[in-house]
Amino acid sequence: MFWAQYRVEDLNIKPVFGAAAATVSPRIGHLHIIVDDLPWWWADPSDTNTVDIAGLPPGDHKVTIALVDANHNIFPGQVITVLFKIPNSAPTPHHIHAAR
């Protein structure tokens, strides 16, 4: 399990997107999260102050977290990358099996 706690100041993390949200004060934004340099990311507008990622296989991993505005523009200087390793001895994630 990967956990990263964060704190944001002078910005509200909200599930509000688009040009109209850019005029709100205080500013509104959300997080973009990228795992292992994959070509896709997900937006997290939940304001839980924690990013949780489960089920990563053993090995080296990288998580990049960017603070972005309602139009998905990164706030300058608000990107962090965390490198970590899941040991081979880590428990295997549980898989959901469909009933047959």
Question: Is the pLDDT at 7 greater than 80, yes or no?
Answer: yes
pLDDT tens figures, 23-75: 888 889 999 999 999 999 999 999 899 999 999 999 999 999 999 999 999 99
- Has residue 32 been placed in a domain? yes
Q: What's the pLDDT score for residue 92?
A: 61
- Has residue 16 been placed in a domain? yes
- Has residue 23 been placed in a domain? yes
Q: What's the pLDDT score for residue 69?
A: 92
Q: What is the largest CA-CA distance in the chain?
A: 53
Q: pTM for the full model?
A: 0.82
| Domain extent for 72 | 2-86
Q: What's the pLDDT score for residue 90?
A: 61
The rounded Cα 84 to chain-centroid distance in angstroms is 15
Q: How many domains does the chain have?
A: 1
Q: What's the pLDDT score for residue 29?
A: 93
Lowest mean pLDDT of 41-50, 60-69, 78-87, 90-99, name the range: 90-99
Q: What's the pLDDT score for residue 93?
A: 59
Report the alpha-carbon distance of residue 44 to residue 79 in Å, rounded: 14
Strand ranges (E), 1-100: 2-5, 11-13, 27-35, 42-44, 50-53, 59-69, 74-86
> What is the domain-level CATH number for residue 57?
2.60.40
